Chain A
């Protein structure tokens, strides 16, 4: 099989693409999808090291991360729908009423 470093580099690249997506996009849904991408990068590192050290705990962590991500998506998308109903927009730059 392949050295664990390869998986590490791949995960870093995925995480960076997700971070760039969060920074440069204004569509709230695309920002959410970029967040999912970053979750995936973290999960990939967990799985790679779990197989590397031959312990099961890393995979269980990924299982719980998936559960939390599912809850986060449900709540986040409900919030986006709410914001869209009141603002008729999901552009995050326009949701600035809490600006100080």
Chain B
């Protein structure tokens, strides 16, 4: 049995939009993160339906895997459920949503105005965007951008470690931290250890 492409797309779009709304509206940050995992995996499935297998797998490994683990680490490190919930005034929320919907209308008008009925995407040949094709293009034609990206990643790692290092040294003589608070801050040594582990990721 072959499921029509429209049905597959409809189900995936429903999952994507639903999990995105759930992420933005849920009170608990952990739930937001888990909704975002569902969203990333659904988007990866859409990539697979577009025959972009390599990018789909990268999406699952990097976004749904590495980046979300980083988010969950930080959420558990900070424990934001113990914080007093910062409530946005209702009028600001309403204004924000109105501006967002207006922006969406603008985008739809600009992108779709006068486009008419479009033909369906043609099915690409087998192996169009497989790992082999992507690898060959990446290492032949885009070798320099790849190296630049790796340098950027290195700078990112060094920057994150440097931020954490400075925090540890100056922790005590922060101007606006009282002595009791400074003790509370410097006491849990395992927090810094966890953070180091997370930056190693």
Binding site for B on A (CB under 8 A): 1-10, 12-21, 23-27, 29-30, 32-34, 36-37, 40, 43-44, 47-48, 50-52, 54, 56-57, 59-60, 62-64, 66-75, 77-82, 84-86, 88-91, 93-94
B5 at the interface (CB under 8 A from A): yes
Contact A1 B120 (CB under 8 A): yes
- DSSP majority for the A interface? helix
Q: CA of A70 to CA of B152 in the docked complex: distance in angstroms?
A: 10
Residue of B nearest to A87 (CB): B176
Binding site for A on B (CB under 8 A): 5-6, 9, 13, 16-17, 20-21, 23-24, 29, 32-33, 36, 39-40, 43, 46-47, 49-52, 54-55, 58-59, 62-63, 66-67, 70-71, 74-75, 77-78, 80, 83, 86, 88, 92-93, 96-97, 99-101, 103-104, 107-108, 111-112, 115, 117-124, 128-129, 133-134, 137-138, 142, 145, 149, 152-153, 155-157, 159-160, 163-164, 167, 171, 174, 176-177, 181, 185, 195, 199
Query: Closest approach, in angstroms, between the C-beta of A46 and any C-beta of chain B?
Result: 9
Contact B96 A24 (CB under 8 A): yes
- DSSP majority for the B interface? helix
Partner of A51, one of B50, B149, B177: B50
Contact A1 B58 (CB under 8 A): no
Given A47-B52, A70-B67, A16-B101 contact (CB < 8 Å): yes
Residue of B nearest to A32 (CB): B71
Instruction: List 10 additional contacts besides A5-B112, A81-B167; criterion CB under 8 Å.
Output: A1-B122, A12-B104, A43-B43, A48-B50, A56-B128, A60-B142, A64-B145, A68-B149, A70-B156, A74-B160
What residues of A have a CB within 8 angstroms of the CB of B86 in the complex? 26-27, 89, 91, 93-94
What residues of B have a CB within 8 angstroms of the CB of A9 in the complex? 108, 112
Given A17-B24, A26-B88, A74-B43 contact (CB < 8 Å): no
Query: Closest approach, in angstroms, between the C-beta of B41 and any C-beta of chain A?
Result: 11
Query: Closest approach, in angstroms, between the C-beta of B33 and any C-beta of chain A?
Result: 7
Given A3-B118, A10-B16, A70-B66 contact (CB < 8 Å): yes
Residue of A nearest to B108 (CB): A12
Q: CA of A24 to CA of B118 in the docked complex: distance in angstroms?
A: 35
What residues of A have a CB within 8 angstroms of the CB of B181 in the complex? 88
Given A1-B122, A20-B24, A54-B124, A10-B138 contact (CB < 8 Å): no
